[in-house]
Amino acid sequence: MRGLGWSDDDVPTDEARLVTTAGHAVYGDHCLYLPFAHSYDVGGELWPDDFWGSLPGWSSRPAGREEFKAHIDAAIERFAEQLGPPDCDVRTEGRHLTIGRYSRRYAAWRRDGNILVIGVALDGYSYAQDEEAVIYIGEFATDRPFPDAAGFLNLMHT
């Protein structure tokens, strides 16, 4: 990863391990956990300032749920162009008290004992009030069944 220009200097958060040349924080000791879009509201006590939008390589603008979902769909399509259709593609809808109605999509590709997931996780910096779209690569047994939509959230851990 350092050969790609990723660095462990000046990472934007304490939990990050590396930062890409585009300014994206990379997490995980035994996996790759790479957020590529965040859904959050600036203002109030939790986010008085636009933390993510102020970091190098990031931009911020008012956007709704549909645009956030479009980022996830686009990432899934780009990976599918290279890897073929996902081995698992699940969607869920529900209600979370802090963000109102939501819908989530997770797509996964299995290769030998590993899994690549594109999906939505809860942002730890907001105490799980906000969301982030992530690329996750980690170990996943070849005979392990894919989790349902709710289980994918627990699958992606750092």
Mean pLDDT over each residue of the chain, to the nearest integer: 78
**Would you state the pLDDT for residue 30?**
80
Cβ burial, residue 46 (10 Å; 0-12/13-18/19+): middle
Beta-sheet pairing, 25-26 with 114-122: unpaired
Tell me the pTM. Answer: 0.75
Residue 97: which residues within 8 A CB-CB, separation 6 or more? Answer: none
Q: Where residue 11 falls among pLDDT bands split at 50, 70, 90?
A: confident
Q: Are 123 and 130 in contact (CB under 8 A)?
A: yes
User: Once rounded to an integer, what is the mean pLDDT over residues 94-118?
Assistant: 78
Residue 74 confidence (pLDDT) above 80: yes
The torsion defined by the Cα of 29, 152, 125 and 2, in degrees rounded to 10, comes to 30
Query: Which tokens in the block code for residue 83?
Result: 């890897």
**Would you state the pLDDT for residue 128?**
46
